[in-house]
Structure 1
C-alpha cells in the first residue's frame, strides 16, 4: 500500500479531532475528491442533457425517455466486458484519467454543436451512451484502485466516505444540474461539468499508488467472475441480497410519486421534503456505519441495514390523514430507509472487497454492476403490472415483504458470523 505524503505529524492530532484520519492521507484524499466530483459530474450530465433536449430541441416525452435510457444502458451491455478489460489492462489510475478526459471531450461537443446550429437528438443520444459507457469503466477502476490506497482495517471507514459522496452526488447532482441550466442555459451548463471531469483527472494524476499487476485471463474470462462468486458462498449471498433489495425497492420507488400525488394529494413541496429525507438518511447512515459495524459486526450490519432499508418502507402503505401527517409517514420512511441503505451498502462493499483477490476484482465488480442494475428495469416493469392489478398500497406491501424475505433467506449464510472483515477468498 502507498500512503506517502501524509499530513505533517505535528498537525495530525489536532486534525484527527475534526476530520476522519483517512482524509489526512493525501493520496486517499485526492482519490476520494476526484471520485466525488466525477460522480457529481455524472449526475449533472444525467439531468442537464434531458433539459437541453427539451429546452433547445423541443424533445418529446419518448425522445427524453430514450435519452435517459441511453445513459444507463451501458451498465447492462458493457459491465462484464469492462471488468475483464480492467483486469487485463491494469493501470486503473490511468484508465480513470482517460475516462474523465474523454467524457470532458464528449460533453464539450454539445455546446459547440449548439452554437453552430448543428445540435440534434441523435448527437445527444451518442453523447449520453458514450459517457455512460465511460462511467462504467471509471466505476470499476475506482473500486479496484480503492484497495491499493486503503488498508484492509480501514475498508469500512473508507467506504463510508466513498459511498457517502456517491449518494451525495445523487442528492446534489440533479438540483445542481437544474440550477446550472436555469442560470447559464443548458449547453453552457455542460461546460461546468467539463471542468469537473478535468479537475478529477488532475487530482488522479497527482497520486502514484502501487497497483496490483495485470491479471492473466483465459478464453473463459467472462465466466471467471461468475465462477469465483459461485465458489464463495458469502459473496454469492451478498450479490443475491443486493439484487433482491434493488428489485423490490425499484417496485416501491417507481410508484412512490404517483402514490404521494394521486392518493395522498401531497403538494410538490411535500414530495420534495420526502425525497430530501432519503438523502439526509443516506448521509446519516454513512456517518454511523463505522460505529455500527464495530458494535454488532460487519455481517449483521449488512443484514440489519438491508432489513431496515426495505422494512422502514412499511410506513408508506399505512400513510393517511391530513397532509402534514401523511407527509410525516413518508419522510420517516425515507429517512430510515436511507440510513439502512448506507449501512447495508457500506458493510456489503467492504465484505466484497475483502473477499475478492486483485486478479478478479474488475470482473467481480462487473458482475456486481449487472446484478445491481439489471434488477431495476425488471422491477420498474413489474411495478406497473402490480400497481394496476393490486393497487398502490398493496403493491408497496408486496415490495416490503419481498425485500425482507430476501434478507431473511441469507441469514443462515456465513455472513452473519462475520464480526470482522473476512480473509481474502482462495
Structure 2
C-alpha cells in the first residue's frame, strides 16, 4: 500500500500508521489476494460437478475412464509438488508466476465448451485439461504461500490464514449449489466456463496488487539437492516434523473414512441423500465460524495452544458416526452438531498450521517446506482411500469407521510430544526473527 502524504498542521498524521495496526479487511492488497483465491476456488468447486457430469452424460465415459479422470486431479501434486517448491524458492517475485498459472488454467478450462461446440470433445480431452489445471494449481500454491509473507505483516499472518481457509469454506457451501444451477441452465460443458472466468478474474485481481516483493532467492545447488534440502528441513526441524507427521496421519485416516462415508451414511445409518448434502454444507458453515474465531483466539492464546486443543477434537465426529444409532432425528442432530464443530476445528488447525510454518521456516525454505507438506499430505490421500475401501471389504463399514477414529486420534501424539507444547506463547514473536534454521 502507498500511504497518503501527511497533511500540514496535523503533527499526529506525520507518523504513518504501522501496517499491522490496520485491519486486514482495510488493506487493499490483502483484499485483492483474498478475493482472487475465493473466486478461483469457487470456480474450481463448480467444475468438480460439471466435468464429471460432462464425461458421464454427454461422453458416455466408462468406469475406467472416470477413474483416470478423477486421478488426473491428484497426479500433478505427486509429479511436480516437490519441484514446484524449489521453483518458488528460486524466485525473487512470486506474483508473475501466480498470474501465469491462473491464465493457463483459464485457457484450459475454456477449451472444454469450445471443443464441445466444435464437436471434438472427448474424455481424453477432459483428462488433459484436468492435468493442465492441476499442474497450474500446484505451481500456484507453491508460489502463493511465500507470497503471503510479502503482502501480510508477521503479526497478521494468522488472521490472513484464517481468511484464506474461510475461502475454502465459502466455496464448499456455495460451489455445489452454484454448479447445480449452472449445469441446469447452461448444460455441463458450459458450466465449466464459470471456472475459466474465475481463473481469469483471479489473474486480474492479482495483477492489481501493488505491494512490492522483496524475496531473496535461495541459492540453487541443483534441482535434486534443493528438493532434498526442503525434505531435510521438514523432517529435522522438530516443529515442522510434528506438523508434517500430524498432517499425514490425519489425511490418511480421513480419506479412509471418506472412502466408506457415503455407503455408511446411506446403507447403515439410512440418512436421506438430501440430508447428506445439508450436513456437508453445515460443515462448511462450521469452517466459516472456525476462521472467525481462530483469528481472535490466536491473539489471546497463540497459535500453539489452539493447535494443541484443536487436534484433540479431530476424532469426535468420526467416533460419533461409528457409534451412532437410534431414530433418524437423533442421528441427524448428532451429525449436524459434530459436523459443524469438526468443520470449525479443521479450519482452526489448518490456519494455525500455516501460520506456524510461515513463522518457523526461513524465507529461503518456505516454498520447499510448504511443497513438501503438500506433497506428503496429498500423496497419502490416495493411499488412505484405497486402504479404507479394502478394509471395508474385509471388516465391514462400522469397524473401518472406528479404526479411522482411532487412527486420527494418533495425530495428537505428534503435536503433544513436540516443542509446540513446551513453547510459551509469549516467545512466539521472537521466533519470527530467531528461527532454528537460518
Q: TM-score range by the shorter chain?
A: over 0.9
Report the alpha carbon displacement of residue 5 of structure 1 after superposing the two structures with TM.
Answer: 6.0
Whether contact under 8 Å (1:320, 1:326) holds in the other structure is: yes
Moved more, 219-228 or 293-302: 293-302
SS of the residue 2:217 aligns to: coil
User: Of residues 175, 179, 182 in structure 2, which corresponds to 1:180?
Assistant: 182
User: Of residues 258, 264, 272 in structure 2, which corresponds to 1:259?
Assistant: 264
Partner of 1:61: 63
User: Of residues 154, 164, 167 in structure 2, which corresponds to 1:165?
Assistant: 167
Partner of 1:269: 274
Report the alpha carbon displacement of residue 296 of structure 1 after superposing the two structures with TM.
Answer: 3.4
Gaps of 5+ in 2: 8-21
User: Of residues 294, 297, 320 in structure 2, which corresponds to 1:292?
Assistant: 297
Whether contact under 8 Å (2:314, 2:409) holds in the other structure is: no
Partner of 2:397: 392
Whether contact under 8 Å (2:255, 2:384) holds in the other structure is: yes
Report the alpha carbon displacement of residue 425 of structure 1 after superposing the two structures with TM.
Answer: 3.4
Distance (Å, rounded) in 2 between the aligned partners of 1:138 and 1:21: 26
SS of the residue 1:209 aligns to: coil
SS of the residue 2:121 aligns to: coil
Q: Where does 1:16-415 land on structure 2 (aligned, <5 Å)? A: 21-211=23-213, 212-219=215-222, 220-415=225-420
Report the alpha carbon displacement of residue 43 of structure 1 after superposing the two structures with TM.
Answer: 2.1
Report the alpha carbon displacement of residue 187 of structure 1 after superposing the two structures with TM.
Answer: 2.1
Instruction: State TM-score, norm by structure 1.
Output: 0.92
Report the alpha carbon displacement of residue 89 of structure 1 after superposing the two structures with TM.
Answer: 3.2
SS of the residue 1:111 aligns to: helix
Deviations 1:99-142 (A, max 9, x none): 11111111121111111111111111100111110011111111
Deviations 1:134-170 (A, max 9, x none): 0111111111110001111111111110111023223
Instruction: State TM-score, norm by structure 2.
Output: 0.90
SS of the residue 1:128 aligns to: helix
Distance (Å, rounded) in 2 between the aligned partners of 1:246 and 1:191: 31
Whether contact under 8 Å (1:4, 1:26) holds in the other structure is: no
Whether contact under 8 Å (1:316, 1:396) holds in the other structure is: yes
Whether contact under 8 Å (2:245, 2:414) holds in the other structure is: no
Distance (Å, rounded) in 2 between the aligned partners of 1:350 and 1:193: 29
SS of the residue 2:209 aligns to: coil
Whether contact under 8 Å (1:309, 1:339) holds in the other structure is: no
Whether contact under 8 Å (1:245, 1:310) holds in the other structure is: no
Partner of 1:4: 2
Distance (Å, rounded) in 1 between the aligned partners of 2:334 and 2:127: 39
Report the alpha carbon displacement of residue 294 of structure 1 after superposing the two structures with TM.
Answer: 3.3
Gaps of 5+ in 1: 10-19
Deviations 1:179-218 (A, max 9, x none): 2122111222222222211111111111132320322220
Whether contact under 8 Å (2:86, 2:367) holds in the other structure is: yes
Whether contact under 8 Å (1:245, 1:306) holds in the other structure is: no
Report the alpha carbon displacement of residue 312 of structure 1 after superposing the two structures with TM.
Answer: 3.4
Report the alpha carbon displacement of residue 393 of structure 1 after superposing the two structures with TM.
Answer: 2.0
SS of the residue 1:208 aligns to: coil
SS of the residue 2:74 aligns to: helix
Moved more, 185-194 or 75-84: 185-194
Distance (Å, rounded) in 1 between the aligned partners of 2:356 and 2:235: 15
Moved more, 327-336 or 130-139: 327-336
SS of the residue 1:317 aligns to: helix
Deviations 1:37-68 (A, max 9, x none): 11222222232211111222122233222112
